[in-house]
Amino acid sequence: MLEFGKRRTWQVFREGGSPPTFDFLGFTHYWGRSRNGKARLKRKTSKKRFRRVLVSINQWLRQERNAHKLPELWQALGRKLRGHFNYFGVTDNGQALYRFERAVRRLLLKWLNRRSQRRSFTWESFERYHARYPLPKPGRLVSLNPIW
């Protein structure tokens, strides 16, 4: 059991400590402060889930980099990103979504450049291709906070 109520959170805030956290359904649930200073339950992607999904995308890119032409690979990766953003796109998790997007773009450039003995892209040419055929970006976040 974990003391995870608002009253206990205020006691911990007054003592200068940090309230307890727990992981559930891929999110780390923790207490923070809202913009007007009230205690509010917040969620972010758990570190274990973040790491696991990056490892899985790395493995997928490694296996599929030569199996498909670039437009097909690009679309399939876009579907994977969209699914991740739809699941983890909740209030207070925007920073983790942008970190995930940057990490996936770095992995994509790495594995595209390993398709032959010559580099396929420099970072600048990769950015130009990405500007022309953009991958999904984290969009509007779903609010999980009840309106009082």
Per-residue pLDDT averaged across 28-57, rounded? 90
Three-state secondary structure call for residue 57: helix
Which residue(s) pair with 28 in the sheet? 23, 44
Burial category of 44 from C-beta neighbours within 10 Å (exposed 0-12, middle 13-18, buried 19 and up): buried
pTM of the model: 0.85
Q: Report the percentage of the chain scoring pLDDT > 90.
A: 61
pLDDT confidence of residue 147:
66
Q: Quick one: CA dihedral 99, 54, 23, 85, positive or negative?
A: positive
